[in-house]
Amino acid sequence: MLTNGRTGWKRAFPFLLPSLIGMFLFAFLPIIISFLISLTSWTGMSRVNLSSGFFTFIKDNFIGIENFKAILTDSEVWQVISHNFYFIALYLPLMVILSLCEALIINASIKGSSSYRVIFYIPVLTSWVAGSLIWKWLLSPTYGPINTVLISMGFKGSLWLQSEIMAMPSIAIASIWKDLGFYAMIFLGGLRSINPSYYEAANIDGASPLQRFWKITLPMISPITFYIVMLSLINAFQLFPQVMVMTKNGDAGPNGATMVMVERIYKYAFRYGKMGYAAAYSWILFMIIFIFTYIQRKVERKCVNYDV
């Protein structure tokens, strides 16, 4: 027997309550607190006297939107945002194309495809610290294997992470290596969900493999492609551990070539003692991600085919 909405909500509420409490304590409450902190001059070093009340603390340190004004009128933030977009321009197209190619290889009926799947996924299971240290060694200008191979082939080795031009591409290469297997498995799920009868009908009509790929595979996996683009874009804006580990002493590369949003948030909060300033930075990052997500949702309605 079906119950009305109000009765159903009353019955479900006791079961939802633990999750709702956890969501409030560990999601909504920190968001509210971070916004309030962004309106203060709190350094993060002084103790918060909760006996007098949290809002009293906010009132004593309140400076309004001065942190946001200072950030948006500083040329540094636009340089940082441009670095984030440069990383996205390097990371996103290659990530989508290579992960799709990897999924097509794994999906092919060839001997050892299961083994390939495990091998491709190993970097995903590796921690970012370990993976970054591996790439820092590989890209070392003095004893790194990559430069050794290039020099043996008659090419000139690069400074890689020590070069203002090559630092961000080096970070992008390491990021693609780390995330490739994860997105390939998502693509693989999309490829496996395509009805084989479409390919059978195309074969009967004499369609070539390339035609089958453009006319069947790509349209059918467009929802998966959109999801991967959206997920990897958000992930790219949160670029942080590889920058901190791979660049010298976490100093954002030569001449700040790898300064990015999350790296700035961390530095201002925990190195420079400007917690309110860092919180304001984090809200600016949130707004950037929100705007791009909104745009993507608009594009989705026109470009994504759900008729699978």
Statement to judge: residues 140 and 286 lie in one domain = yes
Statement to judge: residues 118 and 48 lie in one domain = no
The reply to whether 30 falls in a domain is yes
Question: Average pLDDT of the chain?
Answer: 88
**Helix or strand (DSSP H, E) at 306:** none
Q: Is the pLDDT of residue 47 over 80?
A: no
Q: What is the pLDDT of residues 1-13, one digit of tens each?
A: 445 556 778 888 8
Q: Which of 3-7, 51-55, 173-177, 264-268 has the lowest mean pLDDT?
A: 3-7
Number of domains comprising the chain: 2
Kindly state the average pLDDT of the residues 110-115: 74
With tokens 């984090």, the residue in question is 282
Return the pLDDT at 2.
Answer: 47
Return the pLDDT at 99.
Answer: 95
Share of the chain above pLDDT 90, in %: 55
Domain that holds residue 49: 20-64
Query: Is there a contact between 266 and 242 (Cβ–Cβ < 8 Å)?
Result: no
The reply to whether 55 falls in a domain is yes
Return the pLDDT at 1.
Answer: 43
Statement to judge: residues 153 and 34 lie in one domain = no
Return the pLDDT at 59.
Answer: 81
Return the pLDDT at 177.
Answer: 95
- Quickly state the pLDDT bin for 174 (edges 50, 70, 90): very high
Helix axes 113-125, 75-107, angle to 10 degrees: 160
Q: Is the pLDDT of residue 307 over 70?
A: no
Return the pLDDT at 100.
Answer: 94
Kindly state the average pLDDT of the residues 207-217: 90
Q: Is the pLDDT of residue 275 over 80?
A: yes
- Quickly state the pLDDT bin for 119 (edges 50, 70, 90): confident
Q: Is the pLDDT of residue 305 over 90?
A: no
Encoded tokens for 37? 């902190």
3-state class of 114 per DSSP?
helix
CATH number at residue 228: 1.10.3720.10
Give φ, ψ of 258 to 5 degrees: -115, 25
- Among 64, 92, 119, give the residue marking a domain's end: 64
Statement to judge: residues 267 and 197 lie in one domain = yes
The CA-based angle 217-219-220, given to 5 degrees, is 65
Statement to judge: residues 220 and 299 lie in one domain = yes
Return the pLDDT at 53.
Answer: 67
**Helix or strand (DSSP H, E) at 250:** none
Q: What is the pLDDT of residues 25-44, one digit of tens each?
A: 999 999 999 999 999 998 87
Which of 17-21, 281-285, 300-304 tops mean pLDDT? Answer: 281-285
Q: What is the pLDDT of residues 62-74, one digit of tens each?
A: 999 999 999 999 9
Q: What is the pLDDT of residues 214-262, one digit of tens each?
A: 988 998 998 899 999 999 999 999 999 999 999 876 667 788 889 999 9
Statement to judge: residues 48 and 180 lie in one domain = no
Encoded tokens for 103? 């999924």
Helices (H), 158-272: 167-192, 196-204, 209-212, 218-220, 222-237, 241-246, 261-266
